[in-house]
Structures are given as structure tokens and as C-alpha cells.
Structure 1
Amino acid sequence: MASNTFSLSYPILKRDNYQSWSIKMKSHLKALNLWEVIESDYEPNPLPENPTLIQIKKYDEDRAKTPKALSCIHSAVSEEIFSFIMTCESPKKAWEMLKQEFEGNEQTKLMQVLNFKREFEMQRMKKSETIKEYVGKLMSIVNQIRLLGESFPDQRVIDKILVSVLEIYESKISSLEDSKDLSKISLGELVNALSAVDQRRSMRGRI
């Protein structure tokens, strides 16, 4: 008989992935209809007098949400990090404690953003990289900045690419400048155009 349930693999929180973990875990809890107990320490409404079987079943299901959500969080952290929340009796408290420990206050987040921006500006393309590998490295940093709540437009990534890629891409960039307004080109369009250079190099056996 077909089952109506489905399983989701837990993202595991480590010391260096809180931002991405929190997004994945929030989606996971929402999919299981458990996020409300994280937001509000949800408690079900008491049963009325002479409840029906349906009302009793619904009440029991709602009561089970809190321990289920806490169990999900316990299963989604490493053994080292579990020690931070092992005494928390509610999923809301456990979530807030993890957020405080790994996200920090506004000053901490600002310093993280500044460090990522500095790392972004220092990036230069290596001879062994393709344009997609280089852009992937840039976007990994950019996404960390965005996860911290800071706006970082694609145009800054485009400008960075144009001034930091290897010399072999210069002729292609010049060609684009002649045919397009580079202030309006999309990031995907630029990457696809420069990837043509990598494709030619690959065909010639140079990479």
C-alpha cells in the first residue's frame, strides 16, 4: 500500500555552516508542519467537553509537534554542537540558542560581512580555473554575504569578473563591449559568453 509520508535528509549543523543550515532546516521543519512551534512555542487548544474522536486525534497530533520539532533539531546537529542545546526543553529555545551562538549580534554579523567582502575583493582567477569555476568561487562568497542579510547586486560580481579574469578572455570582453552595454548584461549571459573561450581551449587540448 502506498504511504502518504515522505522522508527528508537532515542538514547537519557544524561550526562553519550555520547560515545555510538554518535556511535548509527551516524549510525542513515547514515541510513537516513543525515550524510554528519554533516561532511561537505553540501549544494546542484544550479539548472541549465530550470531544469527538476526530478532535482527540487532532489534539494528540498537535501535542506531538513540540517533541517532534525538538527531535528534528537534535538530529540535525553534530555531537559537539548538541552540548549547546541538550538542556533545552523546547524547540524554540534550542533554535534561539543556536542562533545566538552561531549568528551572533549585529556587530558580529557586520564583521562577518566585512570579512567576506574583503575576501571577495582579493579574489583573482587562477590559470588552472575555468570561468565557471572562478564565478562559482565568487558566488560562494557572495551568497554568504547575502545570507547575513546584506544586499550584494549581481552587477558587482560582473564588474569583478571583468577586471579580474585571465588575459585570454580580454578579446572576448572587448567583443562584448562592442556589441553590448556591459552595464546591462546579466551575470548568466556574461558567464556563458566567456565560457566559449574555455570550450575552445578544451577542444584544443590546452586544459
Structure 2
Amino acid sequence: MGETRVVRRFLVVTALFAAPGLFAVAFTGRPELHAAINASLPVACDPLFRYGTHLADGLVPTGIAVVLLLTSTWRRFLMLGLSTAISALVVQFLKRNVFGDLLRPVEHLASMPELRLIDGVELNHHFSFPSGHSTAAYAMCLALAVLSGRVRWAGWLAVGAAFMAFSRVYLSQHFTEDILAGAFLGTVTAWAVHRWLYGQAMMDRAGLDRRPVGLLAQKK
């Protein structure tokens, strides 16, 4: 029951952040919305978003998963590992095989002549939709919320995921639609993994609550 309340809080906070973006996307073109957001961004926040975006790099969830593998149980390791790995595979398939013709903001500079680019950021040109960083951020943060078991932490982790996702728009690496799709994909994947691992059938499997390293040690 505790995990259910945690997931619910994460979903509510995520919906509150996503609603304005969905409304804006529904009534504004991709370049027009991106240019409007870009024009309103304070230069003082450039370092925060430039470095903060790396929290959603693949190395971060991978590192956390390794720590869980070494120190925690199979269930907790799989909660984060499967959430991030499955969502990463799905997003890469969609990027390259379904929406491969959608280009990044830098390819639309003719439509956004006043676009301010961030110094030191190497911009990508292709495979814009969905955002891989946004997907990773939401899959990782929802998984961490479940592992924390704390409702309050779930809200803050949802805020953190929103920050990491928005950093991609701030840096002109993605359009708003890209990060919203990534947020949906990452959240749904982590939610599905949670439903599976913490459902009644899987909760009865005692092996999932053993430590992987401990099992290896016993075999030796």
C-alpha cells in the first residue's frame, strides 16, 4: 500500500507540471513555442541547466543500479534497472525507426532567428522525438520514489524529473513535445514495472527479496 501512495503522489505532481506544457503544445507550433520559451529564460540559470542535464545521462541510473545490485535486493535492483533499461530501449526504437525524420531545434534556426544558444553546449541535430533524457529522468525518479517508500520524497523526485526534462528545452536540445513524450514513456514504464514487481503474485516470491551478491557468495 505504501508504494501505491508513493506512485500516486509522483503521478499527481508530474501531471501538474505536464498540464501547462500540454496546453501550450496544443495551441502553438513547435518552433514558435520553443522560441517563446527561449526568449523568457534567464541567462543566470545557464550553468544550472547545462550541468544539471547530465543527471539524466545513462551513466547515472546505471551507477545507481550497480550500487543496488551490490547492496540491496533483487526486487529493488530490478525496479530501477528494468524501469530505465526498458524505457531506454523503447525510446531509442521510437527515435530511430518511427520518428527518425523529426529534427532538433538547431535544425529550425531559420524559423527562430532570435534563438539564444548556450555557450559550451554541443547541439544534436537528429532523433528529436521522444527525448531520451526526459525518459530516463522520469523512469529513474519514479523508480527511486518507489524504493524510498516516502510520499514526500515522491513529490520532490517528480520535481527533479521535471527539472531534468526541462533542461533539454532550456539547452535547445529538444522541443517541448519531445520532453512530454519522454516523461510519459518513462513514467508509464516505471509504473508498469512497479505493478509487476510489487503485485501480489511477485510479492510472494521470496527470492526477489534476497541480495544478489549474497546469493553469489552462497554459491561459492
Shorter-normalised TM-score: what interval? under 0.3
Q: TM-score, normalised by structure 1?
A: 0.26
Larger relative helix fraction = 2
